[in-house]
Each structure stands twice: as structure tokens, then as C-alpha cells.
């Protein structure tokens, strides 16, 4: 006779204390459709529910891109799909959204969420790929280019918060940091391939670390003695280094740890290389009069976007670019602290008659 108890749903994992603290313990936040009231309380407290992401500057992006019915829109970094859902709605009827992301873990979930919005199947095309090669997808789907392109260069909260991905120093997990865990080397293996000079260069170029050379030596000395495999191991090495400085504060420690994790993540995923490739292809991906908005989160990214847009404006590729950085409102920063470092820039592709002849400007528009 079968055991009736085998039909019972498994009990959720118990956790210490009154409220769940670990990512996988927050079972209500992972099921927003069942626990809507709990999600509201989490958001009202200025936090992001586990396993989700809160899109940044949604209204500002919609105002800049001005989506309308029938257009071709591209979300180059689909993430949780918050921006994509708004764009998809705005280009109906008749519009089509192309969405790409390199993360195989989150992409399927996001594609399902967007499909469940109920728009015609042909209005959504989702493909797993790095946005560095998005030109191939855009021109295959729309040879004349896209009307709208959006790139949000930040990590999604579900990537940051999940300790198994290795992006966060706040929880113990494997030191991985790959956006696509199926490709490339995890950060722990990258450390084994770098010498002090190379690691110092990464810390300085990718995160503006002021003590790059000394910190790189401290990290690699520790790694040589006992290989750094876990996120908390690396965080502790950095913390011990900073504590040796006179009058170092807790904020100094946190900032140094953040910079080290940022520098390694950028290197592991070749984020600057991907952005440079994307910016080179961008003009060919936009229709005349098409609009692009790019949101960055640190100076290395923003500097590349600013320079590419200014160059495009000077040679006639773009008819308009943002004069200043667009930032989240103070209200949004208070409600969602993760938005505070966001920087948004935009550009408008010049009409054909506006463009200067290449031989007059010395570059191919």
C-alpha cells in the first residue's frame, strides 16, 4: 500500500530567527504572485525582493525613447524584464521587441514573464547572447535597423543577491561572477592567472582603486598560501588589508571590497570589451531618427558612452545627444538605493540628409 505521506508537499526549510535572512530562505519573495502583500512591504522598506529586480528610471527612459505603436524596440540587457515590459506595451499594436541577455539562468524566466503579458507571439523575440553581438540579431530581424535601443549595463538584483552566482560579498558563495556560467573562467581561476602588476592594473582601470598595487599584492599573497575559492574569503582578505590603514572606517572597508568585486567582475565578463564592441556597431543598428539610451553605473562605462556619443555627434552620425547625465530622482534613490549610482545618456541617429560625407570628417559614419 503506498505511503500517503509521500503526496504531502515538502516542508519549507526552517531558518534561524523570526524572519528569513538568506536568499533561498525568502520563499515569499520568490513567489510574488502568491504573496503580493509581503512584496509591497519589502518594496516600501526600500529593499528589492529576493529573486526580482526593480527597473531604474523607467519614466525617464520612456520619455527619452518615446516608443510608439508599430516600432521595433531592442532591449540589449533584458535582465528581469522591467524596462522591456513597458516598451513592449508602448509599441503595440504592431510593434516588436527584441530582447537579449547573456545569462542563461534568468533569461528563460524573463521570457516566460513577458509572454504571459498576453501580446501576440510575433511581438517578442528573445535570444540568449552577449549584447556585443546584438547587431546580427537586429539586422536579421529588421534590415533597416531599430527605432529604439536600450542598454542597462548594471547587474540585475537577482544576480547580485544570489550567493551561488558569486557577485555578492555579503553571503558566502563560490567566487564565480560569470554572467554566463557556461563560458569563461570564474573569478577564482582568474586570480590564479594574474600576477601582481596585472591585478593592480585591473583594480585601477576597472574600479579606480587608490591602493591598487598594494592591495593586489595582498590578495595574491593570500591566494598563493590558500587558494581563494569563496566570496567571503576574498572579502576578508580585502578587509584585513584596509584595517591596517590608520583610521580606516567600516565604510572604507566596504568601499574597497566593492571595488575589488567590481574590478574582477568586469574582467571575468570582459564588460568593457563588450561595451566597446556594442558602441562601434550602434550606428548601423539604428534607423535614421532612431533613439538609443544607455544606463551605466560606474565611471569606466559612462566615460566610454560619453566619448562614443560625442564622437558620433561631431561627425554627424547623431543629430542629438544628451547634454548632461540623467540621474534618478531623489525620491527614487530613497525608495531604491541601488539606483543611486545610475547614469543615463541618450543619442538620436541623424537623418540621412543630416549626415556629413565620410571624406569630409575622416571617419565612416
Q: What is the pLDDT of residue 27?
A: 46
Q: What is the pLDDT of residue 357?
A: 40
Task: Please give the Cα distance from 216 to 202 (Å, whole number).
Answer: 9
Q: Summarize the confidence of residues 268-293 as an average pLDDT.
A: 96
Q: Which residue has the higher pLDDT, 364 or 24?
A: 24
Task: Please give the Cα distance from 177 to 27 (Å, whole number).
Answer: 24
Q: What is the pLDDT of residue 209?
A: 94
Q: What is the pLDDT of residue 228?
A: 95
Cα 54 to the chain's mean position, in Å? 12
Going from the N-terminus, what domains does the chain have, and what CATH number goes with each?
58-157+272-361 (3.40.50.150), 181-268 (1.10.150)
Task: Please give the Cα distance from 11 to 339 (Å, whole number).
Answer: 36
Q: Which residue has the higher pLDDT, 111 or 13?
A: 111
pLDDT in tens, 16-34: 555 555 555 444 445 565 5
3-state secondary structure of 98: strand
Q: Summarize the confidence of residues 289-302 as an average pLDDT.
A: 95
Q: What is the pLDDT of residue 10?
A: 58
pLDDT-wise least confident of 35-39, 58-62, 197-201, 237-241: 35-39
Q: What is the pLDDT of residue 358?
A: 38
pLDDT in tens, 105-118: 889 989 999 999 99
Q: What is the pLDDT of residue 297?
A: 92
Q: Which residue has the higher pLDDT, 237 or 27?
A: 237
pLDDT in tens, 34-92: 555 554 565 555 555 544 558 899 999 999 999 999 999 999 999 889 999 999 999 99
Task: Please give the Cα distance from 200 to 215 (Å, whole number).
Answer: 8
Q: What is the pLDDT of residue 356?
A: 43
| DSSP per position, 66-97 | ---TT-EEEESS-TTSHHHHHHHHHTTTT-EE
E runs forming strands in the chain: 72-75, 96-101, 124-128, 146-152, 286-296, 318-321, 343-349
Amino acid at each position: 500500500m503506498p505511503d500517503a505521506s509521500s503526496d504531502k508537499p515538502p516542508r519549507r526549510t526552517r531558518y534561524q530567527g523570526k524572519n528569513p535572512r538568506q536568499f533561498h530562505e525568502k520563499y515569499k519573495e520568490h513567489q510574488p504572485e502568491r504573496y503580493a502583500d509581503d512584496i509591497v512591504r519589502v518594496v516600501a522598506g526600500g529593499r528589492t525582493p529576493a529573486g526580482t529586480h526593480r527597473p531604474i528610471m523607467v519614466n525617464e527612459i520612456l520619455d527619452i525613447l518615446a516608443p510608439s505603436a508599430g516600432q521595433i524596440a531592442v532591449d540589449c540587457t533584458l535582465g528581469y524584464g522591467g524596462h522591456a515590459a513597458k516598451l513592449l506595451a508602448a509599441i503595440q499594436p504592431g510593434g516588436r521587441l527584441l530582447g537579449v541577455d547573456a545569462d542563461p539562468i534568468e533569461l528563460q524566466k524573463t521570457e516566460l514573464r513577458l509572454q504571459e503579458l498576453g501580446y501576440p507571439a510575433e511581438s517578442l523575440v528573445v535570444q540568449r547572447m552577449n549584447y556585443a553581438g546584438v547587431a546580427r540579431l537586429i539586422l536579421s530581424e529588421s534590415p533597416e535597423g531599430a527605432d529604439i535601443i536600450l542598454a542597462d549595463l548594471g547587474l540585475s538584483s537577482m544576480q547580485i543577491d544570489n550567493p551561488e552566482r558569486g557577485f555578492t560579498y555579503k553571503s558566502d558563495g563560490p567566487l564565480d561572477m560569470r554572467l554566463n556560467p557556461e563560458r569563461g573562467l570564474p573569478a577564482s581561476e582568474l586570480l590564479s592567472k594574474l600576477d601582481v602588476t596585472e591585478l593592480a592594473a585591473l583594480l585601477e582601470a576597472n574600479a579606480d582603486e587608490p591602493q591598487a598595487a598594494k592591495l593586489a599584492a595582498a590578495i595574491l599573497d593570500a591566494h598563493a598560501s590558500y587558494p581563494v575559492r569563496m566570496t567571503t574569503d576574498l572579502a576578508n582578505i580585502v578587509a584585513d588589508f584596509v584595517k591596517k590603514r590608520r583610521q580606516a572606517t567600516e565604510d572604507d572597508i566596504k568601499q574597497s571590497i566593492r571595488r575589488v568585486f567590481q574590478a574582477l567582475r568586469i574582467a571575468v565578463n570582459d564588460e568593457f570589451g563588450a561595451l566597446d564592441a556594442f558602441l562601434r556597431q550602434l550606428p548601423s543598428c539604428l534607423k535614421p531618427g532612431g533613439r538609443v539610451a544607455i544606463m551605466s553605473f560606474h565611471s569606466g562605462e559612462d566615460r566610454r558612452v560619453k566619448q562614443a556619443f560625442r564622437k558620433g555627434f561631431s561627425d554627424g552620425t547623431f543629430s542629438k545627444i544628451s547634454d548632461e547625465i540623467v540621474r534618478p530622482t531623489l525620491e527614487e534613490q530613497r525608495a531604491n538605493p541601488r539606483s543611486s549610482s545610475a547614469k543615463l545618456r541618450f543619442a538620436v541617429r541623424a537623418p540621412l540628409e543630416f549626415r556629413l560625407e565620410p571624406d569630409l570628417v575622416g571617419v565612416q559614419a
